[in-house]
């Protein structure tokens, strides 16, 4: 029997409570969540496989990579390098978009179930499909916003590396200039890498609640963009861990660590096949010679393993969305009033 909304306890939760209740929910709904997520993970696998094949064919004909002698036709090599970069960017954009779609579908299943309402996994898929255009528009807005933040965070490292290049050009022939240029380039590369990593982490934290908003609220792209930021902005309780972004960072770090560990363990068969039959992992020709009859099943085993644990991150973001609405908007009081029995007038 499906519990009524009044039988579900809603109150502000500590970070540990969110993780604990999300893990309990994930175990109790493992089968429907697995079925819901498996299709999206298979799409990711197909995209990555197509990218790998395209990369193998492209890199295999680059000068110095076994296809053509090094130093021949630099124009063609530059064009092919640009093609490789374009494929990598396209793959990244698709994978993140597919991640948002999967999170939206899962949130539409998890949040009503968390509130004690009857729901089926197919409703999550229908909601994600019906909101696909809005989700895509919001995603493009987030990419544009993230591009500006990335440029800002990567600017210091780029400037330091630029100074290193200038020092190398102006100090050519002097030992001091060479040492200074190398030091500046190394320091700039480190700062640039830290800035790029910070930009990626900022992106996923800033838009952590975007899929639940699209799943549960009938708002447009710009409204969803602002709404997801408003729920995270500011402080919900005293102390350092009372800030919304800090709470999101802690939750993402814990769940991300679990998923990385699972990915490493489930990916062992695929890495064993690559090492046993491909030898050098950096040699495209050797990797292309690996029998796909062995590699594909090993990779699919990794996909299935990830599909069991990936929903945990979706459940955590959905529970976090409910918790932020309880803290900021009194969702618990709103539902109590909505489900309260009307008073019977006295005779």
Q: What residues form DSSP beta bridges with 243? A: 235
pLDDT > 70 fraction of the chain, expressed in percent and rounded: 82
- What's phi and psi for 218, nearest 5 deg? -85, 80
For residue 1, pLDDT over 50 is answered with: no
pLDDT digits (tens, 9 = 90+) for 254-306: 888 888 888 888 888 888 887 877 666 666 666 667 777 888 888 898 899 88
In the numeric block, the tokens 């618990």 are attached to 332
Instruction: Count the Cβ atoms, other than its own, within 10 Å of residue 313.
Output: 24
Reduced 3-state DSSP string for the chain: CCCCHHHCCCCCCCHHHHHHHHHHHHHHCHHHHHHHHHHHHHHHHHHHHHHHHHHHHHHCCCECCCCECCCCCHHHHHHHHHHHHHHHHHHHHHHHHHHHHHHHHHHHHHHHHHCCCCCCHHHHHHHHHHCHHHHHHHHHHHHHHHHHHHHHHHHHHHHHHHHHHHHHHHCCCCHHHHHHHHHHHHHHHHHHHHHHHHHHHHHHHHCCCHHHHHHHCCCCHHHHHHHHHHHHCCECCCCHHHEHHHHHHHHHHHHHHHHHHHHHHHCHHHHHHHHHHHCCCCCHHHHHCCCHHHHHHHHHHHHHHHHHHCHHHHHHHHHHHHHHHHHHHCHHHHHHHHHCCCCCCCC
More confident of the two residues 275 and 175 = 275
Q: What is the average pLDDT across 237-241?
A: 81
pLDDT for res 70: 44
Model pLDDT, residue 214: 93
Distance CA(161)–CA(165), nearest Å, equals 6
Residues 6+ apart with CB under 8 A from 237: 12, 327
Cβ–Cβ under 8 Å, residues 311 and 35: no
Of 65-74, 107-116, 202-211, 291-300, the range with the lowest mean pLDDT is 65-74
CA distance 65 to 57: 11
Decide if 139 contacts 102 (C-beta within 8 A): no
Has residue 78 got a pLDDT over 50? Answer: yes
pLDDT for 20-41, tens place per residue? 999 999 999 999 999 999 999 9
Identify the pLDDT of residue 53. 78
Contact residues for 170 (Cβ-Cβ < 8 A; gap 6+): 177
Rounded Cα distance, 331 and 10, in Å: 8
What integer pLDDT is reported at residue 176 of this predicted model? 53
Whether 342 has a pLDDT exceeding 60, the answer reads: no
User: Using 50, 70 and 90 to split pLDDT, how confident is the model at 337?
Assistant: confident
Beta-bridge partners for 235: 243
């Amino acid at each position: 029997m499906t519990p009524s909304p009044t039988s579900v306890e809603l109150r502000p939760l500590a970070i540990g409570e969110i993780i604990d209740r999300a893990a309990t929910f994930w175990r109790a709904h493992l089968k429907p969540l697995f079925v819901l997520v498996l299709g999206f993970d298979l799409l990711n696998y197909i995209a990555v496989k197509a990218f790998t094949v395209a990369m193998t064919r492209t890199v295999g004909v680059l000068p110095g990579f076994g296809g053509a002698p090094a130093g021949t036709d630099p124009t063609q090599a530059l064009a092919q390098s640009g093609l490789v970069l374009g494929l990598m960017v396209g793959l990244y954009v698709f994978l993140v978009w597919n991640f948002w779609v999967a999170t939206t579908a899962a949130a539409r299943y998890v949040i009503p179930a968390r509130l004690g309402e009857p729901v089926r996994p197919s409703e999550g898929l229908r909601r994600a499909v019906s909101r696909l255009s809005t989700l895509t528009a919001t995603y493009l807005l987030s990419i544009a916003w993230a591009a500006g933040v990335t440029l800002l965070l990567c600017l210091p490292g780029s400037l330091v590396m630029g100074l290193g290049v200038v020092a190398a050009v102006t100090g050519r022939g002097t030992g001091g200039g060479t040492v200074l240029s190398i030091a500046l380039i190394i320091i700039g590369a480190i700062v640039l890498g830290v800035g790029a990593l910070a930009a990626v982490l900022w992106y996923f934290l800033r838009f952590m609640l975007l899929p639940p908003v699209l799943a549960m609220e009938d708002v447009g792209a710009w409204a969803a963009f602002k709404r997801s930021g408003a729920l995270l902005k500011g402080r919900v309780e005293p102390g350092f861990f009372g800030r919304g972004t800090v709470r999101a960072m802690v939750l993402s770090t814990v769940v991300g660590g679990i998923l990385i560990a699972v990915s490493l363990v489930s990916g062992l068969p695929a890495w064993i096949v690559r090492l046993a039959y491909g030898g050098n992992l950096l040699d495209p020709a050797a990797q292309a010679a690996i029998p796909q009859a062995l590699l594909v099943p090993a990779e699919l085993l990794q996909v299935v393993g990830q599909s069991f644990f990936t929903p945990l991150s979706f459940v955590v973001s959905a529970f976090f969305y409910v918790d932020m609405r309880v803290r900021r908007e009194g969702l618990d009081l709103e539902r109590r009033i909505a489900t309260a029995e009307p008073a019977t007038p006295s005779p």
